[in-house]
């Protein structure tokens, strides 16, 4: 009970002097959140700069140093989005994922990603997106028929 009493009477935020400080931080919630936001942002940019330096500091295709982006060499081996784990992941996990990456300028990264994600005519589940050619149309029609069948079954089983 003494701990609660002292916390109520004596703990003020060390930043803004608010009456309610969080336990173990000596800060109120808004000051703590602002401090953590600043810390995570700085950590992100510090790790990103270190990653760029570690990966060579230039585009793997054209050796440009402008507009660099971190890209997974083989996207099938990707476990985490590198931009998401730069600030939050432990160092070991971040380094493990970084080993699977390369630096590309924005132009080459966009071209590589577009090539990896595109589907040629008549292939894939539904063919090319927004294509109505003779190869893609039957795939799209079959996909829509299956989708509608599943939806009807789902409505029957749920009673909706």
Task: Tell me the pLDDT tens digit for each residue of 84-95.
Answer: 888 888 999 999
Q: Say yes or no to pLDDT of 49 above 90.
A: yes
Q: Across the chain, what does the average pLDDT equal?
A: 85
Mean pLDDT of 49-78: 93
**Residue 91 in contact with residue 51, Cβ under 8 Å?**
no
Tokens of 115: 């090539």
Domain boundaries, the chain: 120-160
Q: Say yes or no to pLDDT of 47 above 70.
A: yes
Q: Which of 139, 100, 101, 102 is nearest to 119 (CA)?
A: 139
Tokens of 149: 């069948």
For residue 106, the Cα-to-chain-centroid distance in whole angstroms is 17
Percent of the chain with pLDDT over 70: 92
- Secondary structure string (H, E, C) spanning the chain: CHHHHHHHHHCCCCCCCCCCCCCCCCCCHHHHHHHHHHHHHHHHHHHHHHHHHHCCCCCCCCCCCCCEEEEECCHHHCCCCHHHHHHHCCHHHHHHHHCCEEEEEHHHHHHHHHHHHCCCCCCCCCCCCCCCCCCHHHHHHHHHHHHHHHHHHHHHHHCC
Tokens of 70: 């971190």
Tokens of 96: 């493990």
Mean pLDDT of 61-70: 94
**Residue 59 in contact with residue 108, Cβ under 8 Å?**
yes
- Whole-prediction pTM value? 0.63
């Amino acid at each position: 009970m003494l701990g609660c009493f002292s916390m109520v009477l004596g703990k003020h935020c060390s930043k803004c002097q608010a009456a309610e400080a969080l336990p173990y931080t000596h800060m109120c919630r808004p000051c703590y959140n602002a401090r953590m936001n600043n810390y995570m942002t700085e950590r992100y940019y510090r790790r990103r700069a270190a990653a760029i330096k570690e990966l060579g500091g230039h585009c793997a295709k054209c050796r440009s140093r402008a507009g660099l982006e971190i890209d997974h060499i083989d996207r099938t081996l990707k476990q985490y989005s590198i931009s998401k784990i730069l600030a939050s992941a432990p160092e070991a996990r971040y380094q493990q994922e970084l080993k699977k990456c390369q630096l590309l300028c924005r132009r080459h990264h966009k071209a590589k990603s577009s090539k990896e994600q595109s589907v040629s005519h008549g292939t894939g589940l539904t063919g090319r997106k927004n294509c109505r050619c003779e190869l893609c149309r039957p795939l799209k029609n079959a996909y829509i028929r299956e989708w509608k069948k599943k939806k009807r079954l789902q409505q029957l089983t749920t009673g909706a």
